[in-house]
Amino acid sequence: MPKPKPSKKIIKQEMLWPTPYWYTHIWEFIRSETRVTFNEDMIGSIQGMIDKDKGVRKSNRGGWQSKLLPSTGELEPLSIEIEEFCKSINLGINEIVIPQMWINVNKKNDWNTIHSHGQYNLSGTYYVKVPKDSGQIVFRDPRPSAIGNLFMVNRFDKGEFRKVKPIEGLLILFPSYLDHFVEPSNADEDRISISFDVVVKIKMA
């Protein structure tokens, strides 16, 4: 007597609580005639700030970090592109406010400790100058209980930590609740980035 065929089992899979981040090269947003001098102008402005201010210590270990800065004045050209970027990521964003920006200059062996910006909606970084081997930004899985179950984490989420390699002109955006840190720099030249926080207003149906 033939064996009955096993019934087909219907198994479905969905991903719970995915955490996106977004990235682009700023050349996608700024006019071609300003590309050549965009970063050069920023480096000049930043050097002027360093000469006038000894900086602050927050997540930075070594290096120079500016005090919190408004999104106007010398940083306004960048804040305009950040706003355009935020409105382009299909989250229904109608309006944004950038309450604060700050500048990070890491020299050799300087790094940034793990931290988050949880009181805001989005946070991000723009990379002005990135020498080779000057440190990657590293994000940590935001689910505390997941850390004890690396069997599942390693199969579906590529591990507890995810690294993003910066390049000059890269603009990244991520949920402010994500823990992150910056690896120590092994470069002889300065690594310069500008970080920021974002508060958003959503389009109403």
Q: Which domain range does residue 34 map to?
A: 22-202
Residue closest to 189 by CA, chosen among 43, 70, 35:
43
**40 inside domain:** yes
- Kindly report the pTM of this predicted structure: 0.89
**CA-atom Rg of the chain in angstroms:** 21
Which ranges constitute the DSSP H helices of the chain? 35-52, 76-87, 150-156
pLDDT at 35: 77
CATH of the domain at 179: 2.60.120.620
Per-residue pLDDT at 30 = 81
In this structure, the chain runs to a length of: 205
Helices (H) and strands (E) in the chain, counts: 3, 11
- Strands of the sheet containing 180-182, edge to edge, are 60-61, 111-115, 180-182, 137-140, 161-164
DSSP for 71-105 reads SSGGGHHHHHHHHHHHHTSSS-EEEEEEEEEEEEE
Specify the residue for token string 């219907």: 10
Euclidean distance between CA atoms 9 and 7, whole angstroms: 6
What's residue 28's pLDDT?
Answer: 86
Which pLDDT belongs to residue 145?
Answer: 79
- DSSP letters of 115-134? E--TTSSEEEEEEEE--TTS
Residue 7, in any domain of the structure: no
Whether 9 is in a domain gets the answer no
Q: What 8-state DSSP symbol labels residue 8?
A: P
The vertex-175 CA angle with 141 and 157, nearest 5°, equals 30
Report if residue 4 sits inside a domain.
no
* Domains: count for the chain: 1
Beta bridge partners of 198: 122
- Domain annotation covers residue 11: no
Which pLDDT belongs to residue 204? Answer: 67
Q: Is residue 121 part of a domain?
A: yes
What's the longest Cα–Cα distance across the chain?
91
Domain-located, residue 1: no
Token representation of residue 166? 């910066």
Q: Which pLDDT score is estimated for 153?
A: 72
Q: What is the pLDDT along the chain (205 residues), one digit of tens a residue?
A: 667 676 778 888 887 778 899 999 998 888 766 777 899 999 999 999 999 999 999 999 999 999 999 999 999 999 999 999 999 998 888 889 999 999 999 999 999 999 999 899 999 999 999 999 999 999 998 888 777 777 777 777 677 889 999 999 999 999 999 999 999 999 999 999 999 999 998 766 6
- For residues 195 and 124, give the distance between their C-alpha atoms in angstroms, rounded to a whole number: 6
